[in-house]
Amino acid sequence: MIEAQWRLPHGPRSAGRARALLRTQLTEWKIDAEVADTAELLLSELMSNAIRHARTPPGREIGVRLAQYDGRLRVEVADANCARPLPRKAEADDEQGRGLAIISALAVRWGCCPRRHGIGKATWAELLLPLPDQPRCVGANIRRSAGRTTTEGPGVDSALRRSSSRVSGVVRTPGTPKDSARAT
């Protein structure tokens, strides 16, 4: 297993810093561009949830961890709040509440488990890494056109269609179980 981890302040600027660290690390690991784009979107959603919903005492940091193992890439965000994230159904005019739906649509697995070192929890999402010379199946094309994000493809729910992202494609493998809300 190869991993990288960082601790960032619990604040809105940390989401952008986390994305920059992820990009640098995935470039160093030579991770496929489509997987890197999807991982960046997953990290954005996980960081947003930790920053917005994890009510923690001042001075607590958010942990970010990337791990590459068994043909998978895990993106993990840990905070000092023990409350588990709960998916909810966002209404058409809601501006929030789609993060876990997006994570569920893009990740092959996601879940939440107790924080490895200390109080709180770690919420994670996993992507499959393409094998060399392995054909990939694109489950959804997400593209930006004239400032709007559009999506196409099977398995993309309306919550994802309404979200704003900057991903050029999503690597999916048919028949992969989505064990949402189960930690390994």
Residue 61 CA to residue 64 CA, distance in Å, equals 10
Domain assignments of the chain as residue spans, ordered by start: 2-172
- Per-residue model confidence as pLDDT tens digits over 114-159: 887 778 899 999 999 998 765 555 444 443 333 333 333 333 333 3
Q: Is 3.40.640.10 the CATH classification of the domain at 2-172?
A: no
Structure tokens at 8: 């960032």
Do the beta carbons of residue 106 and residue 77 sit within 8 Å? no
**Helix, strand, coil proportions of the chain in percent (round to 5)?**
25, 30, 40
Of the pLDDT bands very low, low, confident and very high (cuts 50, 70, 90), residue 101 is confident
3-state secondary structure of 160: helix
The pTM of the full predicted model, rounded to 2 decimals, is 0.68
The average pLDDT across 84-104 equals: 73
Structure tokens at 147: 């400032």
- pLDDT at residue number 169: 31
